[in-house]
Amino acid sequence: MTTNASDALNHTTMLDQSAANTGAHPKQALVDAGHCSETNLEAAKERQLACGTKTFMATGRLAHDEQTPPAPHGRIPANATLKERMARELRTKPGKAAYRRREAVVEPVFGQIMTCQNGRRLLLRGEDGARGEWRLLAACHNLRKIFRHTGTTGLAAQAG
């Protein structure tokens, strides 16, 4: 939760926070087109060299009826920009597989919080209030998942 309206300003901060929280740099970062900027693409390139984090960053959105272009063959043009290189990498088999995994793991959480828990708009004002409300929504989401997988007997066994 940040006060930045644009995701592009949060990319490196988010990865640094992830490393601080877990004690290790992530092996892979999968981010949407809101993070795509020349600064972030350059930072992703540097982070891969320094920390080994491979970033797959969407470079734009497709229309609902638009198909992803096929993966190009041959060498990458020497004059290709970082954005063109990333778009090309996302069209490779590993790029498609990684981004497809992101759509299956990350996106459903936000959709479920928005629809099942009416989390489309936060009610509390101020950064602290909004952060607290979001944490409560996330905790409730996680508790619902645990309950769905273990049921009441599983919860009782974990408590005892």
Our CA dihedral for 41, 42, 43, 44, rounded to 10 degrees, sits at: 50
On whether the pTM is more than 0.75, the answer is no
Task: Give the chain's length.
Answer: 160
Is residue 11 predicted with pLDDT exceeding 70?
yes
Q: Which of 3, 39, 26 is nearest to 102 (CA)?
A: 26
How does pLDDT run across 103-117, given as a tens digit for each residue?
777 777 877 888 777
Q: What CA–CA distance (Å, rounded) separates 53 from 142? A: 27
Digit-coded pLDDT (tens) for 29-57:
888 888 888 998 999 999 999 999 999 98
